[in-house]
Amino acid sequence: MSKKIPAFKNLKFKSICELKIPFILEGPHQAESIFWNINSENSQDSITNLKQLINEGLISKKIFDSFTHAVVTERIQNKMQSIFLCNVYNTVSKPYLIPNDLKQLYIQYSSQICKIIQSDDVEEYKTKMEVSPPSNSSQSHVGLAAEFGSVNIFMYLKDHISEDPKIVRKAIKGGNFDIINYLFKQQPEEFKYTLKFAIKSHRNDVADWLLKNVK
């Protein structure tokens, strides 16, 4: 006679952000938080904090190098992320330690249309499109807007979301909840089985949202 599987009626889930970090991992956890939250306003403070963590021995140089290599490998597309990571790496690390495969990141510049979409300037986007209509490319403009979290340009292009089959994953990666909620109303079925992707993209807030809203 087979055993019955117990029903966990009182099973409760904690938010990912509520989990207690073990003491031995507090240093790497702090560094991780710095890496993933760098922006134009806090870049200098981030550099200072990273230096402090390294000097205090809370993180090793090897961890820092490994993460930076991962940035290159995965080609993280979050708004301005690569640019600021380059600045941080260049400030904290010794130039001669930068490997050849990483140096190319220093000379990568986004196309003009990507910069416009990143800035979320609808009027500038309209002007650019009047002069240079979009060509057939592997990445749609509405998809870029979703990935950059550029809600104004996304809403301007919302009639084209069906043209990008990966639009939901790009929105999750972008992390803008106005875009995510809009797509959830339009394509709720596409959000199933995206929890792992949200966690992999380090979008813990989106992962929490998925746990609460996607059945």
Residue 168: exposed, middle, or buried by beta-carbon count in 10 A (0-12, 13-18, 19+)? Answer: buried
Q: What is the pLDDT of residues 62-77, one digit of tens each?
A: 766 665 555 544 444 4
Give the type of residue at 37. N
Instruction: Name the residue with higher pLDDT: 6 or 173.
Output: 173
Q: What is the pTM of this model?
A: 0.54
The tokens describing 50, both together, are: 């990273």
H or E stretch at 103: helix 100-103
Output the pLDDT for position 16. Answer: 60
Q: What is the pLDDT of residues 183-197, one digit of tens each?
A: 999 999 999 999 999
Q: What is the pLDDT of residues 105-146, one digit of tens each?
A: 433 334 678 888 988 999 999 998 887 766 555 468 999 999
Residue 214, CA distances (Å) to 171, 187, 194, 195 in order: 15, 12, 9, 9
Q: What is the pLDDT of residues 40-97, one digit of tens each?
A: 677 677 777 877 888 888 887 776 666 555 554 444 444 445 455 555 555 555 454 4
Q: Map out the domains of the chain with their CATH numbers.
A: 22-110 (no CATH), 121-213 (1.25.40.20)
Q: Output b/e per residue, 54-67; b: 16+ Cβ within 10 A.
A: beeeebeeebbbeb
Q: What is the pLDDT of residues 154-164, one digit of tens each?
A: 999 999 898 89
Rounded Cα distance between 133 and 117, Å, is 14
Residue 23, CA distances (Å) to 28, 30, 76, 144 in order: 10, 11, 28, 39
